[in-house]
């Protein structure tokens, strides 16, 4: 597998995100699959930021701890990441800001001499990186022209100077050269961008959110692309207002979605119960971060699984979906909209910071089949019963203004939505919700909601969910294990999952939390996990890190 890992680091305001994006697009144009991991503290100014761009001739969706090139815009970046260097790695650094062995470029002096803002040191670094890896200047120039909206000419001049200085340096002669590989370029999407596109493909016409990391960029993206997506974005005063607006729109027949993180989801819990009682289609993107409370909001964790599954009071059906990369984020967002409207339930898309803000190569062709599906609608005959009793518990939908009186009720109600405390009607209403839950479980079991990669007959099976996918799948392929990933966590597609596990002699659970929540959920369903590998320091699994842990575990 031909691949390169490049880390660029500096302080907030150095344009690290922009530079990482540009490096990713350079390799994308050369045919590589891309994954970009971004790490930054929750500070307005200052603090250490870095991005790891991994480019591979084979499909990837994780980063590695080891790197081939370290691009350091200050001494801190060198000091923090020198442990990642390995034999043959190269260092490119601002020689006015740091001391190291490698390709030193006086970046700060260059921007000062040219009268440019300090942030354009990243363009000088990009030019130097290209020269060091044997990438033509034309590729860099094309990427700058395509991605920069301000100071394009100044960025070009800075990149050319960095390229020129590096081209004559003796360190460049020792470096690896990048060769073009077959395929690509492919669309590059963050997890949040893929979710936005999937929600729109699923028919979303309204997105409501109060900004909260890591779903803030989902709101920003939809707001910036309202016309292309065919959806309106609203930012009200609180998360309670957020979900109330979305549910009001859904009552009127408008497909809507909301996004938040743990704290905001807490405020939405009452409305999740409302969705269960009033049977209002409600799609919630829950972006997990390191908590409880504020925790470390720009870092990641898979700590909200039980919260998502059990938030709300009472007994009512819901679905919890967990995508692991941009492709799954897109497809499960479509599925979330369809499930919510097919079953008239709350559906939670469980993302996290690592999925939401990382950048992936996106398989455009594989996404074309996903489409919005119509819900069960009232045929217009007779008196409309919003909560009509049916065999599968799903009542036909009608909307105000379409010839029916549509009564939505958070109180227990009869078939027509009229409040009741009659014992017989209360029992009938609950039995209707139970029938719907069974119909949902049956539907999920027949929907291909368990993904398997690696060796499908491997004696060792990894079980994981969400953004842990990237590292887990890669390690499974390396050691000949089967990588099993349920895409729907509630209801659990147990029948399909047990089929995928058949013949496995050793089952290893892998999760980004400290309690092994998913493994506990599996045990509730009678599925045993032999060992568990957990991580809960706010950082996602790197592929090489997980491989070391797994090999150590297996002996």
pLDDT > 90 fraction of the chain, expressed in percent and rounded: 93
- The pLDDT assigned to 175 comes to 79
Above 80 in pLDDT, residue 525?
Answer: yes
| Mean pLDDT on 89-99 | 96
Of 489, 173, 480, give the one whose Cα is nearest residue 349.
Answer: 489
Torsion sign over Cα 299, 300, 303, 309: positive
pLDDT at 555: 83
**Alpha helix segments (H runs only) across 237-349:** 239-251, 262-278, 305-310, 326-343
Spatial separation of the C-alpha atoms in residues 384 and 253, rounded to whole Å: 16
Backbone angles phi, psi at 283, to 5 degrees: -105, 125
| Per-residue model confidence (pLDDT) at position 173 | 73
70-79, 334-343, 365-374, 388-397: segment of lowest average pLDDT: 365-374
The average confidence (pLDDT) of the chain is 96
Mean pLDDT for the stretch of residues 30-49: 92
Is pLDDT at 120 greater than 70 in this prediction? yes
Q: What is the pLDDT of residue 283?
A: 98
Give the model confidence (pLDDT) of 398-414 as tens digits. 999 989 999 999 999 99
Give per-residue pLDDT as tens, 157-201.
999 999 999 998 887 777 788 999 998 799 999 999 999 999 999
Dihedral of CA atoms 216, 219, 223, 227 in degrees, nearest 10, equals 140
Please answer whether residues 265 and 243 qualify as being in contact, where contact means their C-beta atoms are separated by less than 8 angstroms: no
Q: Which of 85-94, 178-187, 370-379, 384-393 has the lowest average pLDDT?
A: 178-187
Which tokens sit at 367?
Answer: 């996404």
pLDDT tops 90 at residue 2: no
Q: Are 52 and 37 in contact (CB under 8 A)?
A: yes
* E strands present in 293-396: 319-321, 346-352, 359-361
pLDDT of res. 1? 60
Confidence band for 46, pLDDT divided at 50, 70 and 90: confident
CA-to-CA separations, 463 to 326, 358, 482, in angstroms, rounded: 20, 22, 9
d(Cα 101, Cα 103) in Å, to the nearest integer? 7
* Mean pLDDT confidence for 476-480: 97
- pLDDT tens readout for residues 263-304: 999 999 999 999 999 999 999 999 999 999 999 999 999 999
What confidence score (pLDDT) does residue 436 get?
98
**Whole-structure pTM value:** 0.96
The tens digit of pLDDT for each residue in 202-242 reads: 999 999 999 999 999 999 999 999 999 999 999 999 999 99
From residue 162, how far is each of 78, 106, 296, 401, 450 by CA, in Å?
A: 19, 9, 36, 64, 48
Identify which of 54, 100, 52 has the alpha carbon closest to the alpha carbon of residue 76: 100
């Amino acid at each position: 597998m031909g691949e390169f890992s490049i880390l660029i680091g500096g302080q907030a305001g150095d344009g690290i995100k922009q530079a990482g994006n540009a490096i990713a697009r350079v390799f994308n144009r050369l045919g590589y699959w891309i994954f970009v991991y971004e790490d930054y503290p929750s500070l307005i100014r200052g603090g250490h930021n870095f991005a790891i761009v991994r480019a591979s001739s084979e499909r990837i969706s994780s980063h590695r701890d080891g790197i081939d090139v370290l691009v350091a815009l200050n001494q801190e970046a060198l000091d923090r990441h020198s442990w990642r260097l390995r034999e043959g790695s190269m260092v490119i650094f601002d020689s006015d800001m740091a001391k190291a062995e490698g390709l030193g470029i006086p970046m700060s002096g260059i921007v000062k001499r040219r009268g440019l803002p300090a942030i354009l040191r990243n363009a000088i670094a990009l030019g130097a990186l290209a020269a060091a890896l044997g990438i033509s200047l034309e590729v860099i120039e094309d990427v700058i022209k395509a991605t920069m909206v301000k100071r394009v000419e100044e960025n070009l001049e800075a990149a050319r100077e960095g390229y020129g200085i590096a081209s004559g340096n003796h360190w460049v002669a020792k470096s690896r050269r990048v060769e073009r590989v077959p395929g690509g370029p492919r669309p590059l999407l963050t997890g949040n961008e893929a979710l936005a596109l999937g929600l729109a493909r699923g028919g979303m016409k309204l997105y409501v959110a109060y900004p909260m990391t890591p779903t803030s960029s989902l709101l920003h993206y939809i707001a910036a692309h309202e016309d292309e997506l065919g959806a309106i974005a609203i930012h009200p005063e609180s998360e309670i207002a957020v979900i109330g607006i979305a549910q009001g729109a859904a009552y009127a027949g408008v497909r809507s979605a909301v996004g938040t993180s743990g704290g905001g989801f807490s405020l939405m819990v009452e409305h999740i119960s409302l969705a269960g009682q009033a049977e209002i289609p409600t799609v919630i993107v829950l972006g997990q971060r390191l908590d409880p409370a504020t925790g470390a909001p720009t870092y990641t964790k898979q700590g909200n699984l039980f919260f998502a599954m059990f938030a709300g009071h009472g007994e009512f059906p819901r679905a919890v979906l967990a995508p692991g990369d941009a492709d799954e984020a897109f497809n499960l967002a479509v599925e979330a909209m369809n499930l919510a409207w097919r079953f008239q339930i709350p559906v939670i898309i469980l993302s996290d910071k690592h999925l939401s803000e990382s950048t992936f190569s996106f398989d455009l062709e594989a996404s074309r089949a996903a489409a919005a599906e119509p819900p069960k609608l009232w045929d217009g005959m007779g008196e409309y019963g919003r909560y009509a009793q049916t065999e599968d518990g799903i009542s036909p939908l009608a909307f105000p203004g379409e010839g029916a009186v549509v009564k939505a009720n958070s109180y227990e109600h009869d078939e027509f939505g009229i409040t009741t405390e009659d014992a017989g009607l209360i029992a009938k209403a609950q039995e209707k919700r139970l029938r719907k839950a069974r119909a949902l479980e049956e539907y999920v079991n027949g929907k291909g909601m368990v993904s398997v990669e690696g060796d499908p007959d491997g004696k060792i099976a990894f079980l994981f969910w969400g953004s842990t996918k990237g590292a887990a799948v890669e390690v499974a392929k390396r050691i000949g294990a089967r990588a099993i990933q349920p895409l729907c966590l509630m209801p659990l597609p147990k029948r399909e999952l047990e089929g995928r596990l058949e013949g496995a002699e050793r089952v290893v659970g892998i999760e980004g939390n400290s309690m092994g929540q998913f493994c506990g959920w599996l045990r509730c369903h009678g599925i045993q996990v032999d060992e568990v590998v957990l991580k809960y320091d706010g950082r996602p699994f790197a592929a090489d890190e997980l491989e070391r842990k797994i090999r150590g575990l297996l002996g």
